[in-house]
Amino acid sequence: MEEKTNQALPEKCVRCSRPMTSPLFCDYCQTLHPVPGVVDHFQLLGLPRRFDADQQALHESYVALSRHTHPDYHVDDSAEAQALSMTVSAAINEAYRTLSDPIRRAAYLLELLGGPPSAEDKSVPDGFLETMMMMQEELMDARSAGKAEELARLGAVLQTQQEGLMKHVAGLYAELDQAVSCKATRQDLLHEIRKQLNAVAYVRKLLSQARQEQS
């Protein structure tokens, strides 16, 4: 798969022709613009396309954009403008939900960078499935026996494992940022990130089961 590259964003407002710093609205006349189809979540929120996203900058950007685009600020506008504000606001909310969740952000960035989707690559780290099968059996035994403390312990183990996997993902993305000139190395890293994220999905599923049994 080829990496999806940044494409040109709107440079001037369609209403006042002033330069635009956001693809969504004009700083001068406050006119809303449709979400460009070429814009990804990072561009939408004005952030660099990186896994180690600045969470404070992410939140501040989301709040600032919401002030201009939320439907509550356009109740006196035309029906067309109100409909546009709902569409734009929904796009901003989806971008924020994705980028504020490390797991969703990692998977989304992998897609943008041309990494393999989970539907095509279901590989996991060596020995991982065997460990998960043992954990699943322990969860079933604890559930059948009604052992709340054991379920809590297993949940904590799974949480730690998920955190460890995501720490590895962060390290792989850091390596990827440095491997700008070697296509083969980048592809290897992208495949390894997919492998780790597949494992995260598996752990997350078991962790959800453990927490449901405790509730």
Q: What is the CATH number of the domain that holds 37?
A: 1.10.287.110
So what's the pLDDT on residue 162?
A: 97
**Comparing C-alpha atoms, which of 163, 161, 162, 172 is closest to residue 194?**
172
Residue where a domain stops, chosen among 49, 80, 100: 100
Residues 3 and 90 in one domain: yes
Residues 8 and 49 in one domain: yes
Instruction: Say if residues 23 and 39 touch (Cβ distance below 8 Å).
Output: yes
Rounded percentage of the chain residues whose pLDDT exceeds 90: 64
Q: Is residue 64 part of a domain?
A: yes
Q: Is residue 14 part of a domain?
A: yes
So what's the pLDDT on residue 3?
A: 47
CA distance 210 to 12: 52
User: How many domains is the chain built from?
Assistant: 2
Instruction: Say if residues 11 and 17 touch (Cβ distance below 8 Å).
Output: no
Q: Which of 29-33, 50-54, 181-185 has the weakest average pLDDT?
A: 29-33
So what's the pLDDT on residue 92?
A: 93
CA distance 108 to 171: 17
Structure tokens at 156: 């904590």
**Helix axes of 148-178 and 128-145: crossing angle, nearest 10 degrees:** 160
* pLDDT tens readout for residues 77-135: 778 778 888 888 899 999 999 999 999 999 999 999 999 999 999 999 999 999 999 99
CA distance 70 to 55: 21
Q: Is residue 115 part of a domain?
A: no
What's the pLDDT band for 6 if we cut at 50, 70, 90?
very low
Q: Is residue 123 part of a domain?
A: no
Residues 80 and 137 in one domain: no
- Measured in degrees and rounded to the nearest 5, phi and psi for residue 25 equal -155, 160
Residues 94 and 52 in one domain: yes
Residues 88 and 12 in one domain: yes
* pLDDT tens readout for residues 157-188: 999 999 999 999 999 999 999 988 889 999 99
Residues 1 and 94 in one domain: yes
Residue where a domain stops, chosen among 100, 118, 147: 100
Residues 158 and 200 in one domain: yes
Instruction: For residue 167, give its domain range.
Output: 128-214
Residues 10 and 79 in one domain: yes
So what's the pLDDT on residue 15?
A: 80
CA distance 92 to 65: 8
Residues 207 and 132 in one domain: yes
Q: Is residue 139 part of a domain?
A: yes
Residues 79 and 148 in one domain: no
Q: Is residue 121 part of a domain?
A: no
Residues 83 and 149 in one domain: no
Residues 133 and 192 in one domain: yes
Q: Is residue 106 part of a domain?
A: no
CA distance 215 to 203: 19
Q: Is residue 9 part of a domain?
A: yes
Residue where a domain stops, chosen among 80, 100, 120: 100
- Measured in degrees and rounded to the nearest 5, phi and psi for residue 12 equal -130, 150
So what's the pLDDT on residue 32?
A: 80
Average pLDDT of the chain to the nearest whole number: 89
Q: List C-alpha distances in Å: 100 to 56, 67, 78, 152, 195.
A: 10, 19, 32, 26, 22
- Residue 50 confidence (pLDDT) above 90: yes
